[in-house]
A and B are shown apart, each in its own frame.
Chain A
Amino acid sequence: MPPQPPKPASEPSTAAAHLRAEEAAPHAGEQELVKRLRCGDDRAFTEIVDAWSPVMLRVARSHVSTDASAEEVVQDAWMAVVKGLGRFEGRSSVRTWAFRILTNLAKTRGVREARTVPLSSLDPGAPAGPSVKPDRFRTADDQWPGHWTPVGSPGRWHATPEDSSLTGELRDRLATSLTRLPGRQRAVVSLRDVHGLSADEVCWALGISASNQRVLLHRGRSRLRQDLESYVGATDGQDRR
């Protein structure tokens, strides 16, 4: 079988598909992978570096203060994996092991950088406003308080799914909006929706509770939806019916 060309590391589906595949069959291919790594199979190493590093960078970035710092942490984690392979006993999956090394290093680095408070010890943060501006709902004196007003009611985004050029535009817009989210919301939304991690994996990687994870996910997604809605409304002049 000819060697597969390495998939581009910037392809988001690579990491997601890989993680999900491993989730579905926890230790499938594990022994083979460890064996190849121990035998110095650099193609096996390249594959996991390319597949896991984007998620690792995102996890590391949630603990440290700069992108450069996150890259160094990921580099250190991989070095620890390479050096530790001989002693790895396979009692956990190699991916879980590698990610735990990463989160330990990232937390240590975060503390050393004297970030004011580590992410994991924070509550969801300052109370966020509602997900939708209150003036889009009927007021208390209306017959139906809390329901959409005719003008405030959302409209369908007609052209989005199949129109690739618009999809590309919206994707670019989302990429920008993501960088503007508060750090913890960005971390959770990125890991869940961009990298395709499960809720459990995100809690584990970031050291946050399930309810905290959901609050951050909700606030982040709600803000991004609002941002897209504004953008769609502004670009095609679509009225809200």
Chain B
Amino acid sequence: MTDLDPEPGLTITCAEVVELVTDYLEGVLDEEMATEVEAHLALCEGCAAYLDQMRTTIRLLGHVPVDSLSPGTRDGLLAAFRDLRPPPAEPAARGGGGRGPGPRRQ
């Protein structure tokens, strides 16, 4: 389609832009190259769409579920914490022991 024909004045190619897109988003391009990329994006619908897709990909990655500790490991750690926690700073240290939660107002 004719509206996809590159405009004169595109000093870098689309093939180059797709390899620069991460550095562009990371903000590590020098000013001259960043300007070239931005100018290209203003003129090239394909690369603008590409950048948009990349941003969508990154945004969606923020919603991918993450692995957590298994409940057994988590419970074991909590039990160990209660057991091994250092004695309180107060002089009247009551020694270690598997007592309940620490001194909290709850």
Contact = CB atoms under 8 A, between A and B. Distances in A.
Contacts of B82: 40, 42
Contacts of A22: none
Contacts of B59: 161
A217 interface: yes
A241 B45 CA distance: 11
B14 A228 contact: no
* Interface residue range, chain B: 35 or more
Chain B contact residues, majority secondary structure: helix
Interface in B5-20: 5-6, 10, 13-16, 18-19
Nearest to B23: A214
A46 B68 CA distance: 13
Interface size classification for chain A: 35 or more
A228 B64 contact: no
Contacts of A153: 4, 45-46, 49
B92 interface: no
Interface stretch (A80-88, A100-108, A115-123): A80-88
A43 B101 CA distance: 8
Nearest to A53: B69
Interface string A161-180: 10000010011001100100
A-B interface, 5 closest residue pairs, ranked by CB to CB distance from nearest:
A146-B13, A40-B102, A153-B46, A9-B68, A40-B85
30 contacts: A9-B68, A9-B69, A10-B67, A12-B62, A37-B85, A38-B86, A40-B101, A41-B103, A45-B77, A46-B78, A49-B74, A50-B74, A82-B85, A83-B84, A131-B19, A137-B15, A144-B10, A147-B46, A153-B4, A154-B49, A154-B50, A156-B49, A167-B63, A175-B65, A189-B61, A196-B62, A221-B57, A221-B58, A225-B54, A228-B60
